[in-house]
Amino acid sequence: QVQLVESGGGLVQAGGSLRLSCAASGRTFGYYSLGWFRQAPGKEREFVAAITWSGSITNYATSVKGRFTISRDNAHDTGYLQMNSLKPVDTAVYYCAADRSGTTSSSRLAYDYWGQGTQVTVSS
């Protein structure tokens, strides 16, 4: 069992930056891949980015590629999502998730554990 807690969300103006954190506890986090998803009001939860346990492989949604960077610090059981050049369309609740199989899948079904989410609001 892995527990995930997101933090770092907030209100930012368009063009600004935020860094989200995902703190893990429970079983060894370092052997899981980490994903970030987001869900805007009235929309389905969508894939944002993912990273393998070693950090050597990453995967990004086209909409965030070049603006967002996923990373992790296994020594501190924490994952990160650095978000730059934010746009109003990035407004959503952001969730981190852990995948026991270690893939960088863009499918929600691949992930076994989820956090509660953190709100990101980008004003125009």
For residue 30, the model assigns a pLDDT of: 64
**Cβ within 8 Å of residue 4, ≥6 positions away:** 22, 23, 24, 96, 97, 98, 113, 114, 115
Q: What is the pLDDT of residues 5-42, one digit of tens each?
A: 999 999 999 999 999 999 998 876 668 999 999 999 99
Q: What is the pLDDT of residues 60-87, one digit of tens each?
A: 999 999 999 999 999 999 999 999 999 9
The pair of structure tokens assigned to 38 is 């987001």
For residue 1, the model assigns a pLDDT of: 82
Burial of 71 from C-beta contacts in 10 A (0-12 / 13-18 / 19+) = middle
For residue 29, the model assigns a pLDDT of: 64
